[in-house]
A and B are shown apart, each in its own frame.
Chain A
Amino acid sequence: MQSSRKLLVAFLAPATVLYTVFLLAPVSLFLAFGLMRYDAIQLFQPVLTLANFGRIVLDPFYRGIILLTLKIAGLTTVCTLLVGYPVAYVLASGRSAWRGILMFLVVAPLMTGEIVRTYGWIVVLGSEGLVNRFLLALGIIHDPLKLLNTQLAVVIALVHILLPFMIFPLISALASQDPDLARAADTLGAGRMRAFLEVTLPLSRTGIMVGSLLVFTLSAGAVVTPSLLGGKDVQMLGQTIYDLVLHTLNWPLASACASILLALQLCFVTIQIRANRRALRRS
């Protein structure tokens, strides 16, 4: 068996090399840049400093960007949860004939990528788009609404784009529950609503956690959707990093912004794990 152990270790080598050389090393290098001093000519000066982080925390411009990122990512996460839960609930309950097709229809849009779906919302929300035409035809509005280039457009599109990332963890959390539990609660007189709130919902907590984490992470780092749908009103952390690297060429500041982005992600995980532990203790 000794040789087969060696074989298994050899099998892990390609992924280890790939992740170390192309992921861990470059990302660490980039993050380390946040501690370097900015230099307009040489990219950076090898002098350790906290100035980049200081600037992000003290400058109201960057503080505003962080707050807006939190707001949009937070709203997107809450909305995907509210919109995704009913779908996951129905899909997990398994009505066999439709289940496969419905499941496919959740994944298929995901596969088209962010740019395609963002473009779809440009067409739908434009001044001559579906929504405005519809509202005009009904006489609800008389002038087209300005829907594009708003925070609302960004949130709507992000919810649409990230919904599958919420639905799938929820399905697996719901499908792994013993349906007898909720049924028992119902039979014992809890009623369907209470059985759902007190049995099914708490038991799907892990799914909510995983889904929210994925959606929050992906929306906080979004660049394409906010740039195309948010206009001048929306400047998020991901876009800021993009501009700092490609236009301002301030790598150290971009790196510090990236660290902040990762820190927000980490805070989100910690809060979720805390809440989860507290809820477990209570029950």
Chain B
Amino acid sequence: MLSAEADLANPASLALQPDLSVRSGGRTLRAVPGTLLRLVVALVYLFLLGPIAVIVATSFSSTHSMAFPPPGLSFRWYGEFLRSDNFTSAFRFSLELGISASIIGTFIGFFTAYAARRLMERRGGVVQSLAMLPLLIPHLLISISLLLALNFVSLPDFASLLAGHVLICTPFTVAGIIASLDGVDAQLETAAMTLGASRLTALIEVVVPLVAPGVLSAFLFAFVVSFGDVYIALFLAGPGTTTLPIEIFSYVQWESSPVIAAITSVQIMMIVVLGLVIEKLVGLRRIMRV
């Protein structure tokens, strides 16, 4: 199913490409969106970003009510968040889990992406499609299945949660790193090997430095995927291994208070920063090929 995205694997089709900007200015038919079209698009963006802006605004509310717009402004809910042990420890745990899962996911993603790219064309394509498998199986099922497996093989809570998170990160790291590898001239590697370097040396000394920005963004994106996950943790989180989204989920089921808005705002800001870093490094779109 990913063959449709093949053009994105090609860096020549990336955002902000010079060849596209040359075509703009009415020379292409598609480059002249009518006023109506622009209006529709603006409304869709309002729809996409509105609720997130509302959360951030609510987090500065001075009262306990969830009324919007808030009647007054304050930082009290951020203080409340920092004082709440449940939420701060869940936040810390999510950070730890996210970092561990994305480090492992990036390593596995790099090895897989490299092999997929250097194998023969057809087999490489198969590897790439198989790597997307965790995206096609509902995450809910992955989580339940891991919980079930724990009945037969005993594994620490953290390990099963980690395994689940590595699984859902890997499709993104594979896709992102394949996209970066496509941008590397394969002849450089061949040249190094002709000059006597082994494949491993060529890989470490020629390829790795060239794809480093892509690998770093894949890592950051994997972290974000892990940090935002609810489904894997839904069944695998337990006492002491509760992730932030699960803590929020169980809280919001019973009551609603601006403290949740403050927590999610912190998360939103963190993600916006990471997103900007990835955008700067390689462009978010290359990882979002799925």
Contacts and interface: CB of A to CB of B under 8 A. Distances in A.
Given A103-B15, A254-B144, A93 B33 contact: yes
Contacts of A11: 111-112, 114-115
A95 interface: yes
A103 B51 CA distance: 18
B194 interface: no
B66 to A, nearest CB: 6
A99 interface: yes
Interface residues of B, number: 109
Contact of A15 (B15, B40, B108): B108
Contacts of B256: 122, 126
B275 A106 contact: no
A87 B16 CA distance: 17
B191 interface: no
Contacts of A100: 15-16, 279, 283
Contacts of A189: none
A47 interface: no
Contacts of B49: 105, 109
A251 B261 CA distance: 36
Nearest to B112: A15
A145 interface: no
B142 A123 contact: no
Nearest to B146: A26
A223 to B, nearest CB: 6
Given A30-B145, A113-B227, A113-B230, A14 B111 contact: yes
A114 B230 contact: yes
Of B131, B135, B144, B224, most A-chain CB atoms within 10 Å: B144
Interface string A191-233: 0100100001000001101100110011011011001100000
A109 B48 contact: yes
B121 interface: no
A116 B268 contact: yes
A27 B139 CA distance: 11
B29 A12 contact: no
A14 B108 contact: yes
Contacts, number: 305
Interface in A24-78: 25-27, 29-30, 33, 43
Contacts of A115: 228, 230, 245, 248-249, 252, 264
B68 A128 contact: yes
Given A120-B52, A168-B285, A176-B7, 19 more contacts: A4-B198, A7-B200, A11-B112, A14-B107, A86-B37, A94-B17, A99-B16, A102-B45, A103-B284, A109-B52, A111-B228, A112-B271, A113-B245, A123-B58, A126-B66, A128-B68, A160-B51, A210-B5, A224-B249
25 contacts: A8-B119, A26-B145, A83-B47, A86-B40, A93-B31, A94-B23, A100-B279, A106-B48, A108-B275, A111-B224, A112-B267, A116-B52, A116-B264, A120-B51, A121-B51, A122-B252, A123-B261, A168-B285, A173-B4, A179-B30, A192-B29, A220-B138, A221-B141, A223-B234, A245-B144
The 9 closest A-B pairs by CB, nearest first: A113-B228, A120-B51, A221-B138, A96-B21, A26-B145, A94-B20, A4-B199, A93-B30, A206-B4
Interface of B: 1, 4-8, 13, 15-17, 20-21, 23-24, 28-33, 37-38, 40-41, 44-45, 47-52, 54-55, 58, 65-69, 107-108, 111-112, 114-115, 118-119, 127, 130-131, 133-142, 144-149, 151, 163-164, 166-167, 170, 174, 198-200, 221, 224, 227-231, 234-235, 245, 248-249, 252-253, 256, 260-261, 264, 267-268, 271-272, 274-276, 279, 283-285, 288-290
Interface of A: 3-4, 7-9, 11-12, 14-15, 18-19, 22-23, 25-27, 29-30, 33, 43, 83-84, 86-87, 89-90, 92-96, 99-100, 102-117, 119-124, 126, 128-130, 133, 160, 163-165, 168-169, 172-176, 179, 182-183, 186, 192, 195, 200, 206-207, 209-210, 213-214, 217-218, 220-221, 223-224, 227-228, 238, 241-242, 245-246, 251, 254, 258, 261-262
